[in-house]
């Protein structure tokens, strides 16, 4: 294969991976900190992109719509956490049922409000150009998504390792009781982190809209992909989600070129391989059971 097209394939994989990273990061941290498998996480993705769509359709412009939509999704996250999830902490299977029920409700509400026909979010005008990469055209918007993903990774890494908030979260992932013992209001921490996770999913939705389109059902697809990433990377770490996303994004993309008959099962093959070698994912903490 020509080098330039290999480069293109890798860029494609990265762009796709970065979108998944944004949603997986929130999922992973909610899981690590609160021990909640949030099956409604895909619904936040859906809410993000559909709200942005409505705002853009009202000529609000892509960037303001993005901000508003992410903020609304964050508020939605707070409501879900405060009203519902808070009541079932520590009861995992009931959380599964609750968040599953919520994902049903959200998805169907979206279909009710916006209809079942797929919609699309236009690429923001400033980025609606193709760049020349080694003699081939590559959409500038995808480069932008890769940059946002990397920037976010750096930001999350900085927060996690250099700030007080990060210290609290790390402590919380390892030992929740200790947090309360230190006099930290754990409820507030949980609510904030849940909101941040939801906001990241919303952000991923808005940024993903111009690439992947929007329809009811994409929430479940995205959720499964990001769960795979979270598990491959290891629960509760941003670093794991980042590396996992890159691995899944790039391998999935290259797999389509090199092993076209395995496209359906590619990501699952990777996941099984990783988990057989490292039962707690690439960067997972905690002893192997």
- For other proteins, the binding residues in 232-271 under the rule CB under 8 A are 235, 253, 256-257, 260-261, 263-265, 268-269, 271
Q: Give yes or no for residue 134 binding other proteins (CB under 8 A).
A: no
For residue 131, what are the β-bridge partners?
138
For residue 214, what are the β-bridge partners?
119
DSSP string of 176-219?
HHHHHHTT--HHHHHHHHHHHHHHHHHHHHHHHHHHH-B-TTHH
From the list 161-169, 177-185, 193-201, 213-221, the region that binds other proteins by CB under 8 A is: 213-221
Q: How many residues does the chain have?
A: 289
Crossing angle of helices 140-162 and 186-212, rounded to 10°: 170
CB of 6 to other proteins, least distance (A): 9
Residue of 24, 26, 30, 31 interacting with other proteins (CB under 8 A): 31
The three-state secondary structure class of 130 is strand
Count of residues of this chain found to bind other proteins when the rule CB under 8 A is applied: 82
Q: Which of residues 166-205 bind other proteins (CB under 8 A)?
A: none
Residue of 42, 48, 139, 172 interacting with other proteins (CB under 8 A): 139
Q: Which of residues 54-93 bind other proteins (CB under 8 A)?
A: 84, 87-88, 91-93
From the list 60-68, 131-139, 159-167, 199-207, the region that binds other proteins by CB under 8 A is: 131-139
Q: How far is CA 170 from the centre of its chain?
A: 20
Nearest to 241 by CA among 227, 222, 221, 224: 227
Binding letters toward other proteins, positions 88-127, x by CB under 8 A = x--xxxx-xxx-xxxxxx-xxx-xx--xxxxxx-xx----
């Amino acid at each position: 294969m020509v080098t330039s097209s290999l480069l293109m394939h890798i860029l494609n994989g990265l762009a796709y991976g970065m979108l998944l990273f944004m949603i997986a990061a929130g999922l992973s941290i909610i899981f690590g900190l609160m021990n909640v498998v949030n099956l409604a996480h895909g619904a936040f993705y859906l809410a993000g992109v559909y709200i942005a769509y409505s705002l853009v359709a009202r000529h609000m412009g892509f960037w303001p719509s993005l901000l508003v939509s992410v903020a609304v999704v964050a508020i939605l996250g707070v409501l879900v956490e405060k009203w519902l999830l808070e009541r079932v902490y520590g009861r995992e299977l009931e959380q599964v049922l609750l968040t599953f029920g919520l994902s049903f409700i959200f998805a169907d509400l979206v279909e009710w409000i916006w209809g079942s026909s797929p919609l699309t979010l236009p690429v923001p005008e400033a980025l609606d150009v193709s760049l020349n990469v080694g003699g081939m055209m590559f959409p500038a918007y995808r480069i932008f998504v890769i940059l946002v993903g990397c920037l976010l990774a750096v930001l999350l890494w900085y927060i996690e390792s250099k700030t007080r908030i990060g210290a609290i979260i790390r402590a919380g992932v390892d030992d929740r009781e200790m947090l309360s013992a230190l006099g930290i209001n754990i409820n507030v921490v949980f609510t904030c982190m849940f909101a941040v996770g939801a906001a990241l999913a919303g952000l991923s939705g808005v940024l993903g809209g111009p690439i992947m389109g929007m329809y009811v059902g994409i929430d479940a697809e995205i959720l499964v992909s990001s769960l795979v990433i979270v598990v491959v990377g290891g629960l509760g770490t941003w670093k794991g989600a980042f590396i996992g996303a890159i691995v899944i994004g790039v391998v999935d993309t290259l797999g389509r070129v090199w092993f076209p008959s395995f496209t359906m099962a590619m990501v699952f093959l990777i996941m099984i391989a990783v988990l057989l070698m490292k039962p707690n994912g690439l960067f997972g903490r905690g002893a192997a059971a």
